[in-house]
Structure 1
Amino acid sequence: MVSSASTASLLLPLPSCSSSEESDDGKPLPPLTAQEASSPPPSQLKRRRGRLERDYNVAMKALALSGDVDEVLAVFAELRRSLADAGDGGAAPNVLCYNTLVNALAEAGRTEEALRALDEMLASGVAPNASSHNILIKMHARRSEFDLAWELIHKSEMEPDAATYSTLIAGLCRVGKVAEAWGVLDWMLEKNCLPMVHTYTPIVQAYCREGRIEEAKLLMVEMERLGCLPNVVTYNVLIRALCDSGRFDEVEQILVDSRTKDWNPSTVTYNIYMNGLCKKGKTKEALEQLDVMLGEGMDPTAYTLSILLNCLCHDSRLLDAIYLLERSTELKWHAGVVAYNTVMSRLCEMGKWMSILKLLTDMIKKGIEPNTRTFNILIHSLCVVGKFSLAKSLIQSEGFAADVVTYNTLLHWSYHCGKLTGANRLISAMEEKNIALDEVTYTIIIDGLCREGKFDAATGYFLKSLKIGLSMDVLTVLLNRLACADRIWEIHRIFDEKDFIPDHLVFNLTIRTLCRASYCHYRDFYKLNLILDKMLERK
């Protein structure tokens, strides 16, 4: 919820200002003279301040576009310090800088921080403008607080602009309120505010999301008639919906028509198309689109590579996937560790550990640093082919930070090979390295101990696992093992434990497990009664 200070101040009469005023950042400022720099009068201090704010705002916008919101916060804090050091009385940054900060936080979903920044702006005496107004409306719309958004619009003396209406329409479409979005559009037209492509695109997207592709296409035709031409984003939305429906002939026609219309397919367009083809098993056609992209002079992105590698791996075309990795430098893709992990993971599933080692070597030669997942894939593949000792030695490798997945893999194969002492050492190593045991770890340990007949120890580990919360999967494994081994008293022990608080799901699971283990037969029925009595006592 927006603080009263934020809402109240944004409802006060404000200077009329278009939401596009932030383009002022790009206006060049004249350089300072030597005299101005040595002893600047107030007017020159203002110019220096303007230049400083402009430069910092440009940097903040670039960081926000890259998604590095923490760096945006750091640069904003540095701007405040720089303004204080400039001898300007410690004045706050201007509204443009605050808008960039608030918008970056809002886009990252850090709404509470955005609202605090807005409150700070108001407390510093910085008057909000049209962009501030629209950012706050966007935050309301994204949180489905449409009543607050309407209230803000109606009470404000600032005339809503196209961005304001488009923001509301986007928010309504996001939650499926397409009829209400059309109502906002009608209201917008009544106010003689011309819609823009960003106004219509959310409605097109809502139609596509609901499978109403024909209505989306008709709306795009209407946009053209009104002179509000769909852009590449609008077409990407439609192409994604057509791909999901397997209507690839229509996608091809749209791409052909783009040559005569006022839009050009982008890398994102082809990524969507290739991803849609791959999902439908059309690997050959997806690879053909790669050639089309290259022919159009477009550089494939890391996501393009990821799409194609996933597609080839799914079809078990590992040689083609490896060849694509080898071509990545030539194609200026700069394949990273994620791309290599994709191929290595599929090689692991196919038991080709030597190919994994070769790819790992190629990665290192190219200066690509393996991550924990890379080593986990290699460790798992070595365990599968029986090279357990070599797999275990890898956790000592320099630069490899083993995680819980690493130890879970090694624990599973330790128990599988009957190496209880080795498993105990691994558990001790986890404790020494402060790697917390998770649900999978406890499941592996309990199952392994039960297979070795160590039922007391297995039950003890189950009781330890309660510290991270009751897991029905862990309980299922233990109950199955105990019931099949006729360890009725171990089940009693579980129900006697004060930290174990059973509910009806636990009761149902226990009864089903015991019945499947033949405890319903006449000679064993008394054991089932014992458990039922214990359950009733706990209830």
Structure 2
Amino acid sequence: MPPRASPLLLLSRGLSAGPPHRDHPELAALRDVLTSPRTSSTPLPHALSRAFPSPSNAFPLRTLPRLLPLLPSPLLSLRFLLWRLTPSSPPPSPHALSSLATSLPDLSSSLPLLLSSSPQPLPLPHYALLLNISAHADLFAASLAVLRHMRSFRLVPDAACFHHALRAAGSASDVSAVLEIMSGSGASPTVPVIVTAVHKLASSGNFEGARRLIDKMPEFGCVPTVVVYTAMVDGMCSFRNVDGVMRLIEEMEGSGLGANCAPNVVTYTCLVKCLCGKGRVAEALNVLDRMAQRGVMPNRVFVRTLVEGVCTDQRVSDAYDVVERVVGDGAVSSGQCYNVLLICLWRVGMTAEAEGLAQRMLKKGVQLTPLAGSSMVRELCVRKRLLDACHWLGMMEENGVLCDSDVYGTLLLGLCEEGHVHEASALGWKVVKREIHIEASCAERLVELLKQYGDEELASHLLGLKQCP
């Protein structure tokens, strides 16, 4: 019996120019519902619900990003999505929202059209959903249209809605527009809203506006803390205002702003990133002393930021000094530090130094992390050093380090393409034994090459490990 085609494939065929297959009447029903003229007695949501009583079963969330572009028009795609994600549905994850935002066709035009054609207010959860999707799509104009549509019906958005709108803001005027609507609705900013607004204002160069908003926090019943000042620091760093950042951190280190506003490791990480971005690596290295004087301990993110900046400047000895100092202080383990250093060396192209460090780590029993090991094999594959990648992969596996699944597919494909048949066969059977799934397009190409080499059995097994998209 031949395998049954996936529902999405059938749906794609059903929505194509030809009529849906008679064996799949639900596809014909969807097409008819979406394209039939609407009447006031049977609006689209009612018609869809009548045809598909169980939306989540008929259209699983994971299939929507590929389904939405297939629908007859961008407006119908958006209306279909609102029907599928009912007000009582659990909110999609950030990853799902990002995928939906990317897949919705012509969202910048279809969303305002949806609002202008809605004589009645939408359910409040749908407004929040549209604002969240607009934020993931970086469409501030669409976010503003949603807020104004709510205001036209005298609906008061909650703080989360304003937060979504601010995430899509791209300028100081955008931030001002959101805060103006918020003020007009009688809602008070919450700390997350203020933090996002401050960051956006500082990122656009409006440092005075950001500072005024912080100063007004007590009026809204909020207490300024290191979090909001760090948001301003990070925004100023994005604007490359290093001197302004230095002055603000000095103010935070003083007692004038209060104990709750003293800089923490996140603040100093922003400073290091800013200094390294400007090529002021010597000053970045001095931040460690500054932190030590204030009793602030570095964490893994801080170490990675500083080490990467130092490696980018080709100051390898300084990078080792940073690692040894942090390890000596006991702030971060030696394993974490040396894995961070290894990844940074690969990223900046210092191949020989990276391989030497990896050898010393394995010799001294410092375990490579899967991230570091995977990064190493990927970089060797990029450089077409496929046999070296095989060697390192074997060494890491002997030491209990298992790389990411995509590493095996990438290396296996490279070996096949370069004609390393023996090594490809050995790695391929290892992949089969461990049941490591391979991305679909990579698996299909591997099967094609292995069949050319006459290894039909391995090709068959690898085809069974093809990862569904």
Q: Does the 8 Å CA contact 2:166/2:196 hold for their aligned counterparts?
A: yes
Q: Where does 1:217-236 land on structure 2 (aligned, <5 Å)?
A: 217-222=179-184, 230=189, 232-236=191-195
TM-fit CA distance, 1:430: 0.5
Report the CA distance between 1:356 and its aligned residue: 1.8
Instruction: Report the Cα offset of residue 427 of structure 1.
Output: 0.9
Q: CA deviation at 1:428?
A: 5.5
User: Which of the residues 388, 394, 397 maps onto 1:430?
Assistant: 397
1:386 partner SS: helix
Per-residue CA deviation, residues 375-416 of structure 1 (Å, 9 max, x unaligned), is 224345399363545531312435x33233444466578897
Give 1 or 2 for the bigger CA radius of gyration.
Answer: 1
Deviations 1:25-77 (A, max 9, x none): xxxxxxxxxxxxxxxxxxxxxxxxxxxxxxxxxxxxxxxxxxxxxxxxxxxxx
Q: 2:197 aligns with which of 238, 246, 252?
A: 238
1:27 matched residue in structure 2: none
- Kindly tell me the number of residue pairs found equivalent between the two proteins: 323
SS at match of 2:352: coil
Aligned counterpart, 1:285:
244
Residue 274 (str. 1) matches residue 228 (str. 2): no
Q: Name the CA shift for 1:427/1:248 in 2 (closer, same or farther; >3 Å).
A: same
Supply the distance in 1 between the matched residues of 2:215 and 2:392 (Cα, whole angstroms): 64
Return the alpha-carbon distance in structure 1 between the equivalents of residues 334 and 414 of structure 2: 30
Equivalent AA in structure 2 for residue 273 of structure 1: M
Q: Is the 8 A contact 1:313 1:346 kept in 2?
A: yes
* Contact persistence 1:142–1:171 (CA under 8 A): no
User: What residue is the counterpart of 1:34 in the other structure?
Assistant: none
For residues 186 and 260 of structure 1, the distance between their equivalents in structure 2, rounded to whole angstroms, comes to: 24
Q: Report the equivalent of 2:436.
A: 468
Residues 417-439 of structure 1 show CA distances to partners (whole Å, capped at 9, x for unaligned) of 98959954751650562635632
Matches within 5 A, 1:401-440: 401-408=367-374, 423-424=390-391, 427=394, 430-431=397-398, 433=400, 435=402, 438-440=405-407
Q: TM-score, normalised by structure 1?
A: 0.48
Instruction: Note the C-alpha offset of 1:217.
Output: 2.4
For the Cα contact (< 8 Å) 1:286–1:308, is it kept in 2? yes
Q: Residue 249 of structure 2 aligns to which amino acid in structure 1?
A: L
- Tell me which of 341, 350, 363 is aligned to 1:378: 341
Q: Which residue type is aligned with residue 238 of structure 1?
A: A
Segments of structure 2 that go 5 or more residues without pairing to the other structure are 1-86, 93-122, 132-145
Residue number in structure 2 paired with 1:143:
90
User: Do 1:216 and 1:238's aligned partners in 2 also have CA atoms closer than 8 Å?
Assistant: no
Inter-CA distance 460–366: structure 2 relative to 1 (3 Å threshold): closer
Q: Which residue of 2 is the match for residue 301 of structure 1?
A: 264
Q: Paired residue for 1:8?
A: none
- Coordinate RMSD, CA, aligned: 4.8
Asked whether the 8 Å contact 2:214–2:224 carries over to 1, the reply is yes
Structure 2 distance, partners of 1:141, 1:395, is: 53
Aligned to 2:71: none
Counterpart AA for 1:403: T
Residues 341, 373 of structure 1: 8 Å contact kept = no
- 1:260, CA displacement in angstroms? 8.5
How many Å apart are 1:367 and its aligned residue? 1.7
Which one of 443, 453, 468 corresponds to residue 490 of structure 1? 453
Q: Please, which moves more after superposition, 228-237 or 494-503?
A: 494-503
What is the 5 A alignment of 1:442-457?
Answer: 442-444=409-411, 447=414, 454-457=420-423
The superposition leaves residues 168-198 of structure 1 with CA deviations (integer Å, 9 ceiling, x where unpaired) of x9966642376697699869xxxxxxxxxxx
Q: In the TM superposition, what is the alpha-carbon distance from 1:448 to its structure 2 partner?
A: 6.2
Deviation string 1:200-253 (CA, Å, 9 cap, x unpaired) is 533432442454534432245447xx6x76565543343234345544442244
Question: Bigger shift: 245-254 or 301-310?
Answer: 245-254
> In the aligned structure 2, how far is the partner of 1:489 from the partner of 1:417?
22
Would the alpha carbon gap of residues 364 and 301 (structure 1) be closer, same or farther in structure 2, given more than 3 Å must change?
Answer: same
Amino acid at match of 1:454: H
**C-alpha deviation, 1:322, in angstroms:** 1.1
Partner AA of 2:364 in structure 1: S
3-state secondary structure, aligned to 1:376: helix
CA displacement at 1:324 relative to structure 2: 0.9
Instruction: Give 3-state SS (helix, strand or coil) of 2:438's partner.
Output: coil
Q: 1:216 aligns with which of 158, 175, 178?
A: 178
How much has 1:363 moved relative to structure 2? 1.0
Matches within 5 A, 1:97-108: none
**Mapping 1:32-431, distance limit 5 Å:** 143-144=90-91, 174-176=128-130, 201-211=159-169, 213-222=175-184, 230=189, 232-243=191-202, 245-255=204-214, 265-295=224-254, 296-297=257-258, 298-370=261-333, 372-379=335-342, 381=345, 384=350, 386-387=352-353, 388-389=355-356, 391-398=358-365, 400-408=366-374, 423-424=390-391, 427=394, 430-431=397-398
Q: Distance in 1 between matches of 2:275 and 2:320?
A: 20
Deviation at 1:469, TM superposition (A): 2.2
Letter in 1 for 2:245: A
Matched-pair contact (CA < 8 Å) for 2:162–2:178: yes
Q: Equivalent residues in 2 for 1:22-41 (5 A)? A: none
Q: Which amino acid counterpart does residue 205 of structure 1 have in structure 2?
A: H
Whole-Å separation in 2 of the counterparts to 1:170 and 1:335: 43
Q: Normalising by structure 2, what TM-score? A: 0.54
Are the counterparts in 2 of residues 463 and 494 from structure 1 also a CA contact under 8 Å? Answer: no
User: Which amino acid is the alignment partner of residue 267 of structure 1?
Assistant: V
Cα distance change on mapping 1:412 and 1:308 into 2, 3 Å? same
Residue 463 of structure 2 aligns to a residue in which SS? coil
* Structure 1 position 333, deviation (Å): 2.3
Secondary structure of the structure 2 residue equivalent to 1:359 = helix
Tell me, which stretches of 5 or more residues in structure 1 are unaligned? 1-139, 146-168, 188-198, 507-539
> For the residues of structure 2 that align with 1:245 and 1:477, how far apart are their CA atoms?
46
Contact 2:230 2:266 in 1 (8 A): yes
